Every structure is written in structure tokens, then in C-alpha cells.
Structure 1
């Protein structure tokens, strides 16, 4: 079962991706529930900030290949994270793959434990990181991003910080996030909302300009013969036909 756990302490709402049996893959139900939970946060005056975290050993494995969300729903979720009038802080203690990196990029602040690993695995199943490029391209280092998106290589937290996917990393992610959350609790809510608007303006420009085209591209790629072969190979735990 997909689900989103909820907890609240001193103005911070913690939302936990809680579908460890699918490695917190973004299924249609999970995307709907996370969208609803974030929308609640946007209208709750008791929420100063949101922490997005996970259960299990994986923050998010990307799109659920057995029950994927509609591309439009994924765009809506990512934009909601960017537009939310409360800061969204990612707390990562596990692995992040593909679409999960888009979720990470949409957050305002991201911290991870040093055991976490990351990979843009889209090219290895015959698709491209189309929709997740909306929050990703305005925020990440383009040269480093090119290598990782084109090869699908796995990389560590130090590289994720250098790339711009993470704000910070440490052995104890909660110790790293302690001063961050304390700072957010000391900030005026209106000031946080207006400051976030300034910081996310370029990201939202990308959504306004490119979301429709990238949604169409994602749909075409996921329904293509290479993608069918790549996803079948992934589910069957074998190399796809194009591997040399």
C-alpha cells in the first residue's frame, strides 16, 4: 500500500513517503496522497515548514513502472513543492533514483546522510528525465548534470552537494538539519513566503515555459518501443537489448 505518514512538532509538519515495499516509487496513488498532504500544509497556519522524508532504505526510486502517475500529475506535484508558501526541506537517509531526484530538486533545502546514493537512471530504461528537468535545470550545475543524466552512473552525497541537488550532508542528518529547522522556526511566516517567491522565480519560469512540451515528451517516450523494452528488462532483472 502507498501512503504518506504525517507528524507535527513545533511548527514543522513531517511528511514521510511510506511505501517501502515499492522503495517509495512514485505510483499514481502515492502522488495523489502526497499532493493532498502538501495542499493541506499550504492552508494550515500552524505549519511553518515541511520536512519531506521517507521510511525504509530508499527515499524514492522514481516512477512506479507498474502503476505510474500521469505526467500531468507529476508536474502538478513538483510545482506544488516549488510554489508552497512554506519552505520544504528534504531529509534523506536512503537512496534516490530518477524521478525521486526531481522531488529532491523541487525542495528548497535538502540534506542527506552520507550513506545515501543517487542516480539518474532514465536513460537505462529508454526514457529521459523530461519532467524532473523543470526544477532540476535551474538549480543544478549543468556540466556535472550532463554526465550523470547521460550515463545513469551512481554517485554519492559529496557529488550531490557539488551538483546542487543537496544543500548539505553529514553522518547524522538530523544533527545537520537541527540548525536549519531552528532557523525556520525563528523566521516570520510572511517573510518566509515572500523570500521563497524570490528564490523560486526562475524555477517557476521553467514550469510556465516548458511544462506542456515536457509533459508531451514524457508521454511519448514512456509509450515508445525502447521504453517498453527497457522497463520490461528492468522488471525482469536483465539488460535491455541495446546494451553492448
Structure 2
């Protein structure tokens, strides 16, 4: 199992636990995460979902070793489907970030209803350096970011801080590392006070535009992403990355 689910006191805690590839978005991890989100959605005792990770990294992005083996649109479609599942879940999804997030992992961050990050956490959209583009995850990220901020972090591929992520709207707030657990507990305590109908209908208001965007543009984004992953330039860059060499 790469993803674990535990429910208690109205909170379903889903933990990414795939340390061997730094919680990369492998087929297995995406399947298990989707199944656990569905289970939390259907559990009448759950009012809020907490998504967190074990280990030092929240998510390292797409599983590049799998991306080299299978070049169909199914991988990007799974990323699109995950974003839609989070957006349409009738319960708030809170992400706790205690470790860095890269590339495709930012799709989870962009879709979640609330994101609380430790100040030491860093972010980067590294696709541009591998001959790729953040096509599938742009569905949620472009809904969160001002156009200038999106252009900056999409095109540069640079690493940026939790404080900057909060300033540009990617995360809800950044807190000192030793205050992360307290901040998350406080946020969850507020959310579980909401009624199921109140939470579901309020979330529906907040995510309507995002869901419409995913439904309108999701398949095109998945096809574009698959085509980029299959391109000779990206294949060379991914091979160089996996072998720790500098791409030509």
C-alpha cells in the first residue's frame, strides 16, 4: 500500500507513503489515492479530509520511470481525474505540507480547498526544464494564480518558498515549521463544526468554475501532456534526469 486512510472524529486522514520514489504520482499511488478519496466521500461520519505525507517529500511529481515506459494519455488523464475528484468531493480537502512539492504534485495543492505549509517547504514547476509543460495541472493552477505569477513560475522552473506560495495564492498560509501541526489541527477543528450540507453546498459554490474548466479542457490537456511526454526532446531529458546527467 502506498496510500493509507484513517478516519476519526469526523476527519479522514489520507497519507501518501511511497518513500522509494518520494511520493511520485505512479499509477498505483494515483489509484489508491482516488479510492481513498472516494471512500472518504461516501463515509457519513467524515466531514473533512486531511491529505498529508510521510517522509520528507510531499510529492515529487510524475513518476518519470513510468512515463518513459507508457506514453499513452492514461497517465495525464489520471492526473486530470484526480483534480476533478478533489474538486467535486462534497467535503473540504485540507493539505498539510511538511515537505517539498514538485511538478505534478502542485496539481493536488492547486485543487485542495485549503493548504497549510511549513515555512521550510519549497515548490517548483520543473516541467519546462524537461521539455514538458504543466498541461494537466494547469487546470487547477491557473484558477488559483494571477497570470503574471503563473508565467513566472511556469516558465522559469525556479524553486520558490512557502511564503511566496502564500503570497501568490497557491497555498492558504505558511506557518513556522514547529507550528504546522497546531495550525492544521485548528483549521480542521473549525471545519468539522460545519454541517454536511453547509460544507457541501459552500464548496460547490467555490469549485463550480474549476469543475467547469476541468470538464471543458481536461481531455485536451491530457492529450497535450501525453504528446509532450512522448516527444524525443522530453524523452532525452527524462533519461538524462533519471541517470543524473545534464541533458543536451
Q: With the length of structure 1 as denominator, give the TM-score of the two structures.
A: 0.96
Instruction: Return the offset for 1:7.
Output: 2.0
SS, match of residue 239 in structure 1: coil
CA contact (8 A) 1:169 1:176 kept: no
Q: 2: distance between equivalents of 1:20 and 1:173? A: 21
Paired position in structure 2 for 1:110: 115
Q: 1: distance between equivalents of 2:128 and 2:234? A: 9
Cα offsets for 1:81-107 (capped at 9, x unmatched): 111001000001000000000111110
Q: 1: distance between equivalents of 2:146 and 2:98? A: 23
Instruction: Return the offset for 1:8.
Output: 2.1
Instruction: Return the offset for 1:19.
Output: 0.3
The alignment status of 1:232 with 2:239, answered yes or no, reads yes
Paired position in structure 1 for 2:34: 35
Paired position in structure 2 for 1:211: 218
Instruction: Return the offset for 1:135.
Output: 0.9
Paired position in structure 2 for 1:58: 57
Paired position in structure 1 for 2:11: 12
Instruction: Return the offset for 1:45.
Output: 0.4
| Aligned length, in residue pairs | 240
Runs of 4+ in structure 1 displaced over 4 angstroms? none
Instruction: Return the offset for 1:20.
Output: 1.0
Paired position in structure 2 for 1:49: 48
Paired position in structure 1 for 2:165: 160
Instruction: Return the offset for 1:42.
Output: 1.0
Paired position in structure 2 for 1:25: 24
Greater CA drift, 173-182 or 33-42: 173-182
Instruction: Return the offset for 1:114.
Output: 1.0
Gaps of 5+ in 2: 68-73
Cα offsets for 1:183-223 (capped at 9, x unmatched): 11111011000000000011112112111111110110000
Q: With the length of structure 2 as denominator, give the TM-score of the two structures.
A: 0.94
SS, match of residue 59 in structure 1: coil
The alignment status of 1:90 with 2:95, answered yes or no, reads yes
- The RMSD of aligned alpha carbons is 1.1
Paired position in structure 1 for 2:71: none
Instruction: Return the offset for 1:111.
Output: 0.5
Instruction: Return the offset for 1:236.
Output: 1.2
Cα offsets for 1:1-58 (capped at 9, x unmatched): x511222221001100000110000000100000000011111101100000001111
Q: Residue 104 of structure 2 is aligned with which of 76, 99, 104?
A: 99
